[in-house]
């Protein structure tokens, strides 16, 4: 059988005292640390969510600006191409006019040179033809 005496009350008082001391010195600081840690994690998660949302907004804004820049660049490219085509067309027209003006002059020059060469050939034709005929016949022709 168990004897209940004054040592049991002393043990109960020591146990309760120990519980109070451990609660103040160990359990409450650990619980406060765990609560602070939980709050910090929740705050960090909220901050990460906010930053993620902000990054998504900036990405969408960047994509929009990039799209606008591409369309402006395409318009500028088309403008430059159109300008180049118009300038090339203008240059070709000037060259064509110059060529068209030069053709009659060249034809006249060729015709004049042709007449001159034919005249020279006619003058040389008689002596050359006579020399060839003399050689073929083997005698002189007068």
Residues of the chain with pLDDT below 70 are 1-2, 125, 142
So what's the pLDDT on residue 128? 74
- What does the angle CA 29 – CA 33 – CA 34 come to, to the nearest 5 degrees? 120
Residue (of 27, 26, 7) closest to 15 by Cα position: 7
Radius of gyration of the chain (CA): 57
pTM of this structure = 0.45
What is the 8-class DSSP label of residue 24? Answer: I
């Amino acid at each position: 059988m168990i004897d209940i005496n004054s040592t049991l009350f002393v043990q109960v008082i020591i146990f309760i005292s120990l519980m109070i001391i451990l609660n103040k010195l160990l359990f409450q600081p650990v619980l406060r640390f765990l609560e602070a840690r939980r709050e910090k994690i929740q705050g960090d998660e909220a901050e990460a969510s906010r930053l993620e949302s902000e990054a998504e907004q900036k990405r969408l804004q960047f994509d929009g600006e990039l799209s606008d820049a591409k369309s402006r660049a395409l318009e500028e490219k088309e403008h430059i191409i159109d300008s180049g085509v118009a300038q090339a067309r203008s240059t070709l027209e000037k060259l064509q006019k110059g060529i068209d003006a030069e053709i009659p002059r060249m034809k006249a020059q060729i015709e004049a040179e042709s007449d001159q060469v034919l005249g020279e050939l006619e003058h040389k034709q008689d002596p050359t033809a006579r020399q060839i005929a003399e050689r073929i016949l083997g005698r002189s022709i007068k």
